[in-house]
């Protein structure tokens, strides 16, 4: 099949594109190579994809509609995975414009193109952050998610809403996939696992927000990609009946649209993350505690029953195994990309 993957040089886009290529598919990767973190890491991931002759790449921002449209017209993708976005919860507090532009305007352009070129299935990367400060655990796809805590979450919520309207109006089968804190090799230098391993190895101090008490359901990137590839053939149909598996499906009553959580099955606190990294790297980490966690959910925990009903799988790779694999990659080459790791929350937030 022919897949368009936006954000292909990003952490998850890279793993997904590589898996699709390994499975024998053709992939058009589009990525604007933004400088949110070291572009060298994106180039390196992309160079690995370019070793496949079924991979084409275009360094294009989604907001550049004519260029994007010409690419899609020429490639004629059957399935679109839309992962390109300005990610990062904390960074969005200080840089809202970037998020509105990349996520809302960028997604809008992509939806307009999908409307014209009609893929068999459009799958969009959404986030656990859209559940906001919801305290009904575990998070189920059908529960209310109207109260985003960060600009990032608000833009992702807007993308889900826009995609639903396009699915309804133009009959574009659409799945919004809500990822939960994804870790693994080739991971993002702004995220906690990279920061903690890098600080351990270099003897730097880590900043721990929310006094380390925040809880995250974390997901191994390999499990995520497996689930994403299985969802390709689970195409939502308008007006389909509720699932018969005893699970409340999030299918829309008026559009071929649904939301699905993909989460890893392990919940860890930030303190446990630091302790595990310390143990597995055999390096001491100096901790600097901060009480603030503005814009962030205190806890994320997913219901994965819908994913299981739709695909038969239930991700479960343990956190310790994820850290081991990450540390091994960090020592091989990951250490190179920390220099430009973005600062997180300014003291004044």
Cβ neighbours, 10 Å, residue 218: 25
**Torsion, Cα of 7, 8, 9, 11 (10° steps):** 80
From ligand NAD, ligand UGA, none, interface partner of 262 (C-beta below 5 to 8 A by class): none
122 vs 282, which CB is nearer to ligand NAD?
Answer: 122
Residue where the block lists tokens 């490639």:
75
Using the rule CB under 6 A, is 195 a contact of ligand UGA?
yes
106 vs 295, which CB is nearer to ligand NAD?
Answer: 106
**Helix (H/G/I), strand (E/B), else coil: 174:** strand
> How far is C-alpha 174 from the geometric centre of its chain's CA atoms?
16
Using the rule CB under 6 A, is 89 a contact of ligand UGA?
yes
Name the segment binding ligand NAD (CB under 6 A); options: 5-13, 263-271, 273-281, 324-332: 5-13
36 vs 166, which CB is nearer to ligand UGA?
Answer: 36
**Helix (H/G/I), strand (E/B), else coil: 262:** strand
Alpha helix segments (H runs only) across the chain? 11-22, 39-49, 65-75, 91-94, 96-99, 106-117, 151-170, 192-202, 221-231, 270-281, 305-311, 319-332
Q: Nearest 5°: phi and psi at 183?
A: -130, 160
Going residue by residue from 146 to 185, which x/- string records binding to ligand NAD, judged by CB under 6 A?
---------------------------------x-xx---
Residue where the block lists tokens 């496949």:
52
From ligand UGA, ligand NAD, none, interface partner of 270 (C-beta below 5 to 8 A by class): ligand UGA
Using the rule CB under 6 A, is 296 a contact of ligand UGA?
yes
Compute the distance between CA of residue 82 and CA of residue 8 in angstroms, rounded to an integer.
9
164 vs 195, which CB is nearer to ligand UGA?
Answer: 195
Using the rule CB under 6 A, is 111 a contact of ligand NAD?
no
- Which residue among 4, 5, 9, 71 contacts ligand NAD (CB under 6 A)? 9
Contact residues for ligand NAD (CB under 6 A)? 7, 9-13, 31-34, 36, 42, 61-63, 83-87, 102, 106, 125, 127, 179, 181-182, 188
């Amino acid at each position: 099949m022919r897949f368009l993957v936006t954000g292909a040089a990003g952490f998850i886009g890279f793993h997904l594109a590589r898996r699709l290529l390994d499975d024998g598919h053709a992939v058009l990767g589009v990525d604007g190579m933004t400088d949110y973190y070291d572009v060298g890491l994106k180039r390196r991931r992309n160079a690995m994809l370019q070793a496949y002759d079924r991979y084409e790449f275009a360094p294009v921002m989604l907001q550049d509609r004519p260029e994007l449209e010409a690419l899609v017209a020429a490639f004629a993708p059957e399935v679109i995975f839309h992962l390109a976005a300005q990610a990062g919860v904390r960074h969005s507090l200080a840089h809202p414009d970037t998020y509105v532009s990349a996520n809302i305007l960028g997604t809008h352009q992509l939806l307009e193109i999908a409307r014209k070129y009609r893929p068999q299935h459009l799958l969009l990367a959404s986030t656990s952050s859209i559940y906001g400060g919801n305290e009904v655990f575990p998070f189920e796809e059908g529960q209310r998610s109207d109260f985003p805590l960060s600009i990032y979450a608000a833009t992702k919520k807007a993308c889900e809403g826009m995609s639903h309207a396009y699915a309804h109006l133009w009959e574009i089968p659409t799945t919004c996939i809500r990822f939960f804190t994804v870790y693994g090799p080739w991971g993002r230098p702004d995220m906690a696992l990279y920061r903690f391993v890098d600080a351990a190895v270099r003897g730097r101090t880590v900043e721990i927000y929310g006094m380390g008490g925040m809880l995250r359901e974390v997901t191994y990137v390999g499990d995520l990609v497996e689930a994403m590839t299985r969802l390709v053939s689970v195409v939502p149909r308008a007006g389909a009946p509720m699932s018969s598996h005893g699970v409340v499906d999030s299918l829309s009553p008026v559009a071929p649209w649904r939301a699905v959580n993909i989460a890893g099955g392990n919940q860890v606190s930030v303190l446990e993350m630091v302790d595990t990294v310390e143990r597995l790297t055999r390096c001491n980490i100096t901790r600097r505690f901060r009480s603030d966690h503005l814009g962030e959910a205190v806890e994320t925990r997913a219901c994965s029953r819908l994913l299981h009903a739709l695909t038969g799988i239930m991700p479960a790779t343990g956190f310790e195994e994820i850290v081991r694999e990450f540390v091994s990659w960090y020592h091989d080459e990951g250490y190179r990309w920390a220099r430009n790791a973005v600062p997180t929350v300014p003291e004044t937030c």
